[in-house]
Amino acid sequence: MTMPRKKLIINDLSEATLQKMMRLRENDGFSDRTWGAWLNYKFKSELINENPSQVVTNSTRDLMLEMWIQNFAQNLADIREGCSISDLVPEGAEEIDVGKKSPLGPAVVVGAGPSIWSHKHLDVLADAINSGKYQGIICSTDRMLIPFLERGIVPYISLGVDGSPIIKKFYDHPLVERYASQIQAVLNTTTNRNVIEHCKRIGIKILWFNPLFDDPRRSNESFTKLQRIMTTTEKHPNGVCAMSAGGNAGTATWVVAHTLLRRGNIALIGMDMGYPEGTKLENTPYFSALQYAADPTGAIGKFYAKIYHPTFKSYAYTDSIFSHYRQSFKQMALKAPPWAETVNCTEGGTLWGERIKCMKFSTWLESLKS
């Protein structure tokens, strides 16, 4: 059903304001089109009845978009001549794709959730490596790189998705310089320039990917499509690979583990997608952003939820952002290749669902014997 068009009559619009509006319409390229067409264009991104997640998402986008674009522009020369995540694909990958099982070893995907410390999973993993019990690869988020190096372990990859300058601290450490030649940093093309220059200076290998900001098939205004075009070179004839990161480094690392590295038995640690029971909400990252909502108290009440994990028998808080990450991961798990098995070994958090097994990390390590 077509909604009836409404006629808008404004009696108290000053001549000066009208002239400004006409100038804006002309600058936007709508001088020969109707006022309605221009207003639809001008307000197309405005949401009615925003939910708390949209408030935070819009706030983040508005604050970060300019930074992301500037970072991409500053990195472009290095991106066009550099390595892509497609270089991680092993030989014989096509045979794995059509088979029922990956012949490659297991992988541990490591996030920075609080469960990794409360259950001492890094130490458990280090002991398993040193004893020969675990001989697979480690795919780590960038935040966990230094803790691994402190235990004498170099992850197969270190992955980051954030464009903030603060990410440099994950690579600015004497141990990172010591092991730099062995480190493969999987970084998105909007990574802060200072991070890139530091990694280049100390000799870290960078493998680029374009973040999947939007659907490049549906719009000529797609930033993802623009990135693909601008990174197309003789070395990258189809542009640098774009990857759905699920909005966070942990999910992106899991995607690389099965999609590119073709690992078929993947354990997750530190992938909580929530806060432990007892966490004060005002200490969580997005609490302050909710103050910009029309009804802050109501928004806070809708933004957070307490969740019981049926396997680990524990409670955790989640928020709308983590809930979005969680739902995205569950949907992506359903689309993973049939030979890719995902096992949540966090022993806490909020993640479970179809095609996501849950067990203790020690139990998963023991299962590798068979």
Per-residue pLDDT of the chain (370 residues; tens, 9 = 90+): 334 455 667 767 777 788 878 888 777 667 777 777 777 656 544 443 445 445 545 555 566 778 888 999 999 999 999 999 999 999 888 777 767 677 789 999 999 999 999 999 999 999 999 999 999 999 999 999 999 999 999 999 999 999 999 999 999 999 999 999 999 999 999 999 999 999 999 999 999 999 887 777 766 678 888 899 999 999 999 999 999 888 899 999 999 999 999 999 999 999 999 999 999 988 888 788 787 777 878 888 888 999 999 999 999 999 988 998 999 999 999 999 999 999 999 999 999 999 999 999 999 999 998 7
pLDDT of residue 49: 45
Going by the DSSP 8-state scheme, the letter that residue 90 receives in this structure is: P
**How far from 73 is each of 102, 220, 266, CA to CA, in Å?**
38, 19, 35
pLDDT of residue 298: 82
**How far from 141 is each of 42, 197, 221, 347, CA to CA, in Å?**
38, 19, 31, 19
**How far from 258 is each of 102, 134, 156, 253, 359, CA to CA, in Å?**
10, 18, 14, 9, 19
pLDDT of residue 5: 53
- Nearest-angstrom CA–CA distance, 159 and 88: 13
pTM above 0.85, yes or no: no
- Nearest-angstrom CA–CA distance, 104 and 258: 10
| Exposure class string for 245-262: b at 16+ Cβ within 10 A, else e | bbbbbbbbbbbbbbbbbb
Contact present, 245 and 211 (Cβ < 8 Å): yes
Q: Which residue has the tokens 């200072």?
A: 194
For the chain, helix (H) and strand (E) counts, in that order, are 14, 13
pLDDT of residue 7: 65
Using one digit for the tens of pLDDT, what is the confidence trace for 70-91?
999 999 999 999 999 999 999 8
pLDDT of residue 268: 98
Using one digit for the tens of pLDDT, what is the confidence trace for 192-244?
999 999 999 999 999 999 988 777 776 667 888 889 999 999 999 999 999 98
pLDDT of residue 218: 67
- Nearest-angstrom CA–CA distance, 351 and 320: 14
| Exposure class string for 108-124: b at 16+ Cβ within 10 A, else e | bbbbbbbbbeebebbeb
- Nearest-angstrom CA–CA distance, 136 and 266: 10
| Exposure class string for 173-197: b at 16+ Cβ within 10 A, else e | eeebbebbeebbbbbbbbbbbebbe
Contact present, 191 and 168 (Cβ < 8 Å): no
Which residues neighbour 215 within 8 Å (Cβ) at sequence distance 6 or greater? 222, 224
